[in-house]
Amino acid sequence: MEELKMLTREEVAELLHVHVNTISMLREVGIINGIKIGKNYMFSQKVIRVFQDDYIGLDVSNKAKAIISKQTVEKRKQDDIKSINYHNTIVGTV
């Protein structure tokens, strides 16, 4: 059940060694998705792991850089999908 534990903004900030406002900014930009419970947002551990994997090597230190990094990640994912579709098309015709 530990994998179901949701994290508060403060817990995520502590895990990532950033200020709580950075977590709020990343949520507002759409980089990490939270679930609003009452007045606060909670974050799944899976969302944080995906963030760490997807954004490795990218700069999300402020809103402008975070938006650019998000666009980079979205493009990478689109390119991966195109590559898989292309591969499936080629393999499927053999």
Cβ partners under 8 Å of residue 55, min gap 6? 31, 69, 73
Q: Which amino acid, residue 33?
A: N
Quick one: DSSP state of residue 2? Answer: G
Mean of the pLDDT values across residues 63-88? 88
Q: What are φ and ψ of residue 86, in 5° steps?
A: -60, -45
Condensed to tens digits (0 to 9), the pLDDT of residues 46-62 reads 999 999 999 999 999 99
Q: Is residue 47 a contact partner of residue 32, using CB atoms and an 8 Å limit?
A: yes
Output the pTM of the full model. Answer: 0.81
Quick one: DSSP state of residue 6? Answer: E
